[in-house]
Amino acid sequence: MSMLICLVGSMVLPAQSAGERPNIVFIMTDDHAAHAISAYGSKVNKTPHIDKLASEGIRLDRCFVTNSICTPSRAAILTGKYSHKNGVPVFNRFDGGQQTVAKLLQAGGYHTGIFGKWHLGSDPTGFDRWKILPGQGAYYDPTFYTSSENKKETGYCTDLITDFSLDFINNRPLDKPFFLMCHHKAPHRNWQPRADKKAKWATIKVPLPATFDDDFTGKADAAREATMRVADHLTPGDVKEKPPEGLSGQDLKV
């Protein structure tokens, strides 16, 4: 999971005017290592827009992750609390009655919104506007939930979330600063690129990490149980290749 926080100005007291307080855009991408971003050393894919933010702003190199799993990490970001304190150690339902960064900013006069992947089980609280994916959501023509309706949208998930976020910015109350959480589903597995991007990597060989086939022989049981690997359960859809003919159902499952 990766995060970008874009600020205009510096944080000041709520009593000051909207023009003196920064607008805050929090961008989250999902389920990838830091080195998937070229500003953090990727030798395969390039992320020029993120790299520009890193070069013109601040790149943080010594971050501490309270819980690297999807749902607990989201709860920790919202609350600023460890998982055993916010009630979401794994995939638990988030208690929206807790204090969150959105509620604090909303109470301080901010117009707040979240769009995209939520994945916390309960409805968002502390947001003036929200439009979220149910669970993991779909990449193509996804359904989005709001406080009043569930609606299937036409398009690719990343584009739709971006468009919803831009609409929030462009149609906000101008007498208030805003806080936007733009939560992308991508590039979370299962990996489904936009139709016009499917052939982009067809001729590019992505090197496997040295530990890809590690069977954890001689290592602690805790390391094996952590399951921080994907080699054991890749599917034909993951690798974008058809399996050889003649394999049994069990072979395909393995």
* Entry field: residues in the chain: 254
156-178 core/surface letters (b: 16 or more CB in 10 A; e: else): bbbebbbebbeebeeebeeebbb
Integer CA distances (angstroms), 122 to 75, 118, 132, 146, in order: 11, 9, 11, 12
63 catalytic? Reply is: no
User: At 93, is the secondary structure helix, strand, or coil?
Assistant: coil
- Six token digits for residue 249: 């159902």
Q: Which of 111, 119, 184, 188 is labelled catalytic?
A: 119
Q: Which of 6, 63, 70, 233 is labelled catalytic?
A: 70
119 catalytic? Reply is: yes
| Cα gap 218→241, rounded to integer Å | 33
Long-range contacts of the stretch 152-156 (C-beta < 8 A, 24+): 156/194, 156/195
Question: Among all residues, which ones are annotated catalytic?
Answer: 70, 119
